[in-house]
């Protein structure tokens, strides 16, 4: 994937589409112990990050960020991705593709108003319930004629790739866009 795409051509929409290279480097520099940091189900947040303190058969003692110690079934825990996978544009690239990691990734991207995220062949959109500058003519032009893997996730990338494929493969013209 071309991370070094010149995002200037996306204009004011750039910050709503992709992290800067500096932001990616900062995430990669964070320390991470994949054997200790893990996701645990939570009634309020869906999943919360906990640290495994002790393993005892099929039960684990975990510590929450607010200092509580809990005993949980090991089967209820889900593996967490290292920080370098934070805010992934394509969730199919996550090391641990589980419900907690998908929700975390979508929540993190949404917190920065990055409402488009790929999940393999699909483009997932989280409704921001407000106007974002990601639908300008400048943005349309930036996606035109580009491969989906070369640009940040966006419905324009999906549409342009579908249109290009339609023109190149006229004999197989059945396509589904939802």
Comparing 1 with 141, the larger pLDDT belongs to 141
CATH number (domain holding residue 118): 3.40.850.10
Residue 178, pLDDT score: 52
Mark whether 19 and 64 lie in a shared domain. no
Per-residue pLDDT reduced to its tens digit, 89-123? 999 999 999 999 999 999 999 999 999 999 999 99
Q: How far apart are CA 170 and CA 144, in angstroms?
A: 19
Tell me, what's the pLDDT at 120?
A: 93
Q: How many domains does the chain have?
A: 2
Per-residue pLDDT tens over the stretch 141-159: 999 999 888 999 999 999 9
CATH number at residue 41: 2.30.30.360
Report yes or no: 157 and 146 within 8 Å, Cβ to Cβ.
yes
My answer on whether 102 and 154 are in the same domain is: yes
If asked whether residues 70 and 135 sit together in one domain, one would say no
User: Is 100 part of a structural domain of the chain?
Assistant: yes
The answer to whether position 1 is within a domain reads: no
Q: Determine the 3-state secondary structure of 149 from DSSP.
A: helix
So what's the pLDDT on residue 172? Answer: 59
The pLDDT value recorded for residue 168 is 85
- Do both 98 and 154 map to the same domain? yes
Could you tell me if residue 56 is inside a domain?
A: yes
131 lies in the same domain as 73: no
pLDDT tens profile 14-31:
999 999 888 888 877 888
H/E stretch holding 130 reads: none
**Whether the model pTM is above 0.95:** no
Residue 55, judged by CB atoms within 10 A of its CB (0-12, 13-18, 19+), counts as exposed
Query: Do 50 and 102 belong together in one domain?
Result: no
Q: Are residues 20 and 90 in the same domain?
A: yes
Q: Is residue 160 part of a domain?
A: yes
Q: What rounded mean pLDDT belongs to the chain?
A: 90
Let me know if residue 107 belongs to a domain: yes
Q: What is the pLDDT of residues 38-97, one digit of tens each?
A: 999 999 999 999 999 999 989 999 999 999 999 999 999 999 999 989 999 999 999 999
pLDDT for the residue 47:
97
Distance CA 153, CA 10 (A): 12
Range of the domain at 43: 37-79
pLDDT for the residue 2: 44
């Amino acid at each position: 994937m071309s991370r070094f795409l010149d995002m200037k051509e996306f204009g004011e929409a750039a910050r709503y589409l992709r992290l800067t290279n500096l932001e990616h480097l900062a995430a990669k520099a964070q320390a991470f112990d994949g054997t200790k940091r893990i996701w645990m189900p939570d009634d309020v947040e869906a999943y919360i990050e906990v640290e495994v303190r002790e393993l005892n058969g099929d039960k684990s003692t975990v510590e929450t960020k607010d200092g509580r110690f809990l005993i949980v079934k090991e089967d209820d825990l889900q593996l967490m991705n290292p920080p370098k996978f934070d805010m992934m544009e394509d969730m199919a690239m996550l090391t641990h593709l589980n419900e907690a990691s998908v929700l975390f990734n979508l929540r993190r991207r949404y917190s920065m108003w990055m409402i488009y995220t790929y999940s393999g062949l699909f483009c997932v959109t989280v409704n921001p319930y407000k106007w974002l500058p990601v639908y300008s003519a400048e943005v349309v032009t930036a996606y035109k004629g580009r491969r989906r893997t070369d640009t940040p996730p966006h419905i324009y990338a999906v549409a342009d790739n579908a249109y290009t494929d339609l023109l190149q493969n006229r004999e197989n013209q059945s396509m589904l866009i939802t």
